[in-house]
Amino acid sequence: MKEATCNLQSFVLGYGAQGLSSAWPALHRAAHQNDLDLLQRLLEEKPAEVNRRDASRFTPLMRGASAGHLAVLRRLVAAGARLEPMDAEGKSAAAMAAERGDLAALRFLADADAKLWRQERGPPEALHWAALSGHRPIMEFLLSRRASAHVQDEKGIQPIHYAALESDVATVAFLVEAGANVSAAGGKGELPLHWAAGVGHAAIVAYLLARRADGSGADLRQATALHFAAAQDRLQAAEVLVAAGAELQGPLAAARAQGHRRLVELLERGASRTRRREL
């Protein structure tokens, strides 16, 4: 195979620019700023604006949810705000509340009949965003409302991938106990272990290996977790993988191609020990 550079762009999540609040419509600003008096006046003057989108495709309800203003959400829902619209990243107001860790807002939206999960694949769901941020009470609530620990987005990515990318061992372990698969493969073969190794979460790498994740599992480019760690200069994660017996030659080529001296030295030492054992 070609030396894999394992660019993390394939799975780093975007947080799209939302623009300056001064450019938002008045109702969006009132929702974001928790200005209930202005919000009520605007709703009475122009009730049809309740579901208007701004330049970032946010509705007023999304602005209120993203800022954590429960009273705003109550006013907007009472005025006819729709619960299902999504922004440019595919987040609904409920998903925004989940990402913030705002259980009160999420519970209110759920009780108002917001969808917390879908049967068909689509953008990342509320559980993905809660896992990314490590909000256990949110994850518990979503699972109690029949969300699945192994739900997939449109790219085949599961919440455990998100937890491995940006969260902690406790979050990953919680999802595993809830039924998540430590070796769940995305649409391009990407594994939670790949994502954890690529961003250097050595403790998560160790946990996944202890739970029998496949340390030699490769994505569709034939890149393993050690490729990801080597290409991104993640020394501690690489040390865990080397100690677990990961294949070294491909990752060594990737580390050399990127000029990561520490990784090259680690992998050369590992390769040397392997050769001595084989003699």
Residues 6+ apart with CB under 8 A from 189: 218, 219, 220, 221
Spatial distance between the Cα atoms of 174 and 85, rounded to a whole number of angstroms: 29
Any idea what DSSP says for residue 233? T
Across 78-84, average pLDDT? 98
Q: Which CATH architecture has domain 182-279?
A: Alpha Horseshoe (1.25)
Do 182-279 and 26-93 have the same topology in CATH? yes
Question: Which of 235, 166, 242 is CA-nearest to residue 204?
Answer: 166
35-54, pLDDT tens digit by residue? 999 999 999 999 999 999 99
Residues 6+ apart with CB under 8 A from 78: none
88-113, pLDDT tens digit by residue? 999 999 999 999 999 999 999 999 99
Assigned superfamily of 26-93:
Ankyrin repeat-containing domain (1.25.40.20)
184-233, pLDDT tens digit by residue? 999 999 999 999 999 999 999 999 999 999 999 999 999 999 999 999 99
Token pair for 2? 């070609």
Spatial distance between the Cα atoms of 34 and 278, rounded to a whole number of angstroms: 68
- Per-domain boundaries in the chain: 26-93, 182-279
254-268, pLDDT tens digit by residue? 999 999 999 999 999
Regarding pTM above 0.75, the answer is yes
Grade residue 20 by pLDDT with cuts at 50, 70 and 90.
low
